[in-house]
């Protein structure tokens, strides 16, 4: 699974998950309802074929390491910065 398969909003949420934010904090950060975050998470779970938030975070971290980040628009971490 490549992070390029995620929508822009999903990539934003992915980065915030890696940073350890809760659904409520992600919703506040992005200016959306908490339910909207949950919908995006369910879609990401399906895309990655997983069912747990911790596993999603691990998968995202792995992809970040291999791809060098999520892209400039999402405030991605540089390739050499630890996650």
Give the C-alpha distances (Å, rounded to integers) separating 47 from 40, 42, 63: 11, 9, 13
**What is residue 64's predicted lDDT score, i.e. its pLDDT?**
83
In angstroms, the CA 61 to CA 78 distance is: 12
* Whole-number pLDDT of residue 48: 86
The secondary element (H helix, E strand) that includes residue 23 is: helix 23-30
Query: What's the whole-model pTM score?
Result: 0.74
Mean pLDDT of 58-79: 65
Euclidean distance between CA atoms 62 and 42, whole angstroms: 19
CATH numbers and ranges of domains, the chain? 3-71 (1.10.10.10)
Structure tokens at 2: 């490549």
Say yes or no to pLDDT of 62 above 70: yes
User: Is residue 71 over pLDDT 80?
Assistant: no
Looking at residues 1-22, what average pLDDT do you find?
Answer: 89
* 28-40 residue pLDDT tens: 999 999 999 999 9
């Amino acid at each position: 699974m490549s992070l390029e398969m995620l929508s822009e909003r999903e990539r934003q949420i992915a980065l915030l998950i890696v940073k350890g934010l809760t659904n409520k904090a992600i919703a506040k950060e992005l200016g959306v309802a908490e339910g909207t975050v949950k919908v995006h998470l369910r879609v990401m779970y399906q895309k990655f074929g997983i069912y747990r938030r911790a596993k999603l975070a691990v998968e995202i971290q792995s992809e970040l390491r291999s791809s060098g980040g999520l892209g400039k628009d999402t405030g991605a971490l540089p390739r050499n910065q630890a996650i």
